[in-house]
Structure 1
């Protein structure tokens, strides 16, 4: 959706732009900058969010294999929340579409906090909303910024890097555990959640 938006403003979308948006709480500003001043951040948010919601309604947005099962397994052990950079309107649409909305105690999006990831604010707010100390929470993360955010909040992290990316130097040592896919992560999740009282705050990076 962001690639289509920049294309309408005469800008070519590059692979590094996709990487730059991964877990980026300032994604709309990044896209606006790519358009060279031809669009405002508010226009990016409105247009791209509407396009993403429409894609969800059309059945074009699907969970990664194993992701829904991770949430359902986590709910067996305690309250579950989401901390994400994506807009509320899109996140709610996706959660309803996947049948997960009723399973979540908290949904914290980019517009809910003063400082976005990699600051700890999104995870600290989510922990407060589910009523669990951060040190008892397990964050499932797929982005370097999200890993930093969760660790800064005092949480353990189960990392599932998107598309089996290699975590950058300086971040690779931060997760408690790491898996290549959500399906592969399921037994790790169970083990981590039963190793001490813990709840899951799951990150969904959907921008």
Structure 2
């Protein structure tokens, strides 16, 4: 079965923030007495409720709006400094997807950061829809962001391919009824229940290009990379 539209996650799927969100959250937490750890960085990956997670680390001394505002400002600054870059092959992957139908982004990141990055990459005018963290009540792994993206581009979820890096995002896209092309960050091993949800898997965006092309083309199912 081919797909008629493609919906991309943003952070760690199309862009490399080089640990920027972890740095921003760590700096915020430091101001509220919490020392950031490697476990906190891991917990942040693909966490649609990231602001609430940080609030918890701060013992309730701040609210989610404070977290989002401070961390977004820090990340917009990192982008302005040239520290937020497209992952190798990511832009080519978007351009290939565009050849086969509308393209959208569904992300938990805040709108101000998302649009700054998409403008900087020259992608804004190529996207049929952009769904940001503020646009849904339930974050990934709930399917809301992907369902909203499909509705905005006018394609049923079953006709969409989601491109995702995190287990949380993969669960969200699958729950929305989309097929999923997984590009796990840094070759991360997917938990078995999550791995069973994907149609194909690639190590990098560059490796994902022929898989996306085959899914959009003759209808042959791609061979996922060995797990």
Q: Could you tell me which of 109, 113, 119 is aligned with 2:136? A: 113
Contact in 2 for aligned 1:138/1:193 (Cα 8 Å): no
Partner residue of 1:96? 119
Partner residue of 2:156? 133
Partner residue of 1:159? 182
Partner residue of 2:213? 190
Q: Cα deviation per residue 1:156-189 (whole Å; 9 max; x = unaligned)?
A: 1000011111111311111000011111111111
Contact in 2 for aligned 1:53/1:93 (Cα 8 Å): yes
Q: Could you tell me which of 78, 98, 110 is aligned with 1:75? A: 98
CA RMSD between the two structures: 1.1
Task: Say yes or no: does 1:46 pair with 2:85.
Answer: no
Q: Could you tell me which of 31, 41, 58 is aligned with 1:8? A: 31
* Distance (Å, rounded) in 2 between the aligned partners of 1:160 and 1:178: 6
Question: Once superposed, which parts of structure 1, at least 4 consecutive aligned residues long, lie more than 2 Å away?
Answer: 7-10
Task: Say yes or no: does 1:150 pair with 2:173.
Answer: yes
* Distance (Å, rounded) in 2 between the aligned partners of 1:194 and 1:122: 26
Partner residue of 2:43? 20
Give the gaps of 5 or more residues in structure 1: 197-207
TM-score (norm 2): 0.83
Deviates most, 76-85 or 187-196: 187-196
Give the gaps of 5 or more residues in structure 2: 1-23, 220-227
Partner residue of 1:173? 196
Deviates most, 8-17 or 131-140: 8-17
CA offset at residue 24 of structure 1?
1.4
Task: Say yes or no: does 1:86 pair with 2:109.
Answer: yes
* Distance (Å, rounded) in 1 between the aligned partners of 2:82 and 2:218: 37
CA offset at residue 21 of structure 1?
1.4
* Distance (Å, rounded) in 1 between the aligned partners of 2:67 and 2:28: 8
CA offset at residue 8 of structure 1?
2.6
CA offset at residue 192 of structure 1?
1.1
